[in-house]
Structure 1
Amino acid sequence: MDIKTLQVFLSVSDTLSFSRSSEQLHMSVSAVSRSVQRLEEELGRLLLERDNRRVRLTPAGRDFRSYAQRAVEDWLRTRRQLTDGAQLSGEVSLYCSVTATYSILSPILESFRSSHPGVEILLHTGDPADGIEKLLVGQYDVAVTGRPAQLNPRLAFLPLQESAMVFCMPAADCAVRRQVLEGDSSAREFDWGSLPFIVPERGVTRDMLDLWFESCAIKPRIYAQVAGHEAIVAMVGLGLGVGIAPELVIRAGGMAERVSQIPVWESLPALSIGLCAPRKTLMDPLVKSFWDVAASTFARTV
């Protein structure tokens, strides 16, 4: 039994899905299953009940989950104690979107490398909507993400930037642009329900948009649900529909000339973008150092 095995079990106990855990951990489904099976054989107890419809924790699994969480936390605490007073070395795993790698991370990494040359950053890019879930299952130490309206109490959030949320349409003449310009989008009675919307699959900004639809009594016509704001802006730029994206993504993603902002009667709230990490992970001196450097770096830019 090792820390990695415990982390695999904790992932499955959170997702209750071997396939979802395999995606989050970048392991095959069979490898995740074998890891849990070897753990059950070592303990001599069934931890998870599986059938064709669902996975669920057994009573022994629930008890062992508590132990596994404590063991991982103890390992992080011991690691911190052993490295106190010594030059930091090791790895910090980080998850963020492509846009965030240069708009948010670039100044942080420049400062962090100069002050902690012995620490390696393991960077993985993807849809920021997945960041919080990946943190909760222990796949990464830190994620760059938008702050949800309700932050899980197991997580800490460090705000770094705010970005306005923009409704956008194609900049080039096309059927979608003409449809938007036929009316007054800044008027309360504008017919939003007739427009083809390209929306986020999930995440903070999808929640924002769904609340906006509800508050404006709009039944949206969903053309596509896609992962990542970069993909939304690209599809809007191709004339496939209208969508929303943080202004930061539009400016930094190289698509600003392909889309136009749509004035609206009721704007979406600004998106707070920052670092997110499990509170227990911040006990690790490597992660805490990265967190502190990020805070001081953006404090200097304000």
Structure 2
Amino acid sequence: MREIAFRWLSANDLIQLFQPFGVINKLVMLRAKNQALLQMQDISSAVNAIQFYTNVQPSIRGRNVYVQFSSHQELTTMEQNSQGRGNEPGYGDAGGMYSLQTPGARTVGFPQMGNAAAIAAAFGGGLPPGISGTNDRCTVLVSNLNPDRIDEDKLFNLFSIYGNIVRIKLLHNKPDHALVQMGDGFQAELAVHFLKGAMLFGKRLEVNFSKHPNITTGADTHEYMNSNLNRFNHNAAKNYRYCCSPTKMIHLSTLPQDVTEEEIVAHLEEHGAIVNTKLFEMNGKKQALVLFENEEQATEALVSKHASSLGGSMVRISFSQLQTI
């Protein structure tokens, strides 16, 4: 079955949600039922879309979209629809048939198609402003670092917010420069987009694509490909959704069940003025939000204390897009 049924969406909404999964051939809007039928070019595209949206709830303009397979094997053309299917359920109330297949039609998506589903769902079928999704360069050059305070693990903690890290190299002939090799070009583009101009250890970071396609393994490189601290090995869509520029608020998870706000403050306060904290439970696990006075302080806390030990637990830290606690 290549057809997929929808509720409360416009034709453009549907196209944006499903283009990353493959070519869309036809689309029928069932206005009276507030539903639609969409036909992909092949079954595998439809299966990939359904499987992904089963695990990640898609939404448009704040309203949830519900996706399931249709019982129809094939959507007919407009002429066939008007001649012989007016009384068949799902066809008589059609609001319009859109035939979307054109000569030379091709998949509209991203070069890293292994991540396309996660990327599409995370960003509501589109991409954040300023992100093309077409970059194929995986290595990033970071400059204007503070060489007295930065190291490979701190860079890993920061850049791993935007994708998996393969390896990192500090340039000894330019101690304020480093190379960071990301898992793919899309992740590298996210890092460049969101970290360019970020403040860290009193320096404004310059983040650009490197001319080097990858970092050669050597004694002066740190390997992270197999690190269990890489964030995008599991729940990739959720992690893409949380990508943003550094904020004043950080989110802490994998905390000890008996941790207190005082212990969290004591763990982080060396990095800046803490304005507010909130300790809470989600799915039976302790988590916390910590609001700093500015973005630089929050960034320093993240790069310094992500994967650190607190009460015997390894704390995971990311930026939160919440403005207040």
Task: Please tell me the TM-score bracket, short chain as reference.
Answer: under 0.3
Q: TM-score, normalised by structure 2?
A: 0.24
Larger radius of gyration: 2
Q: TM-score, normalised by structure 1?
A: 0.25
Q: Determine which structure has the larger helix proportion and give its number.
A: 1
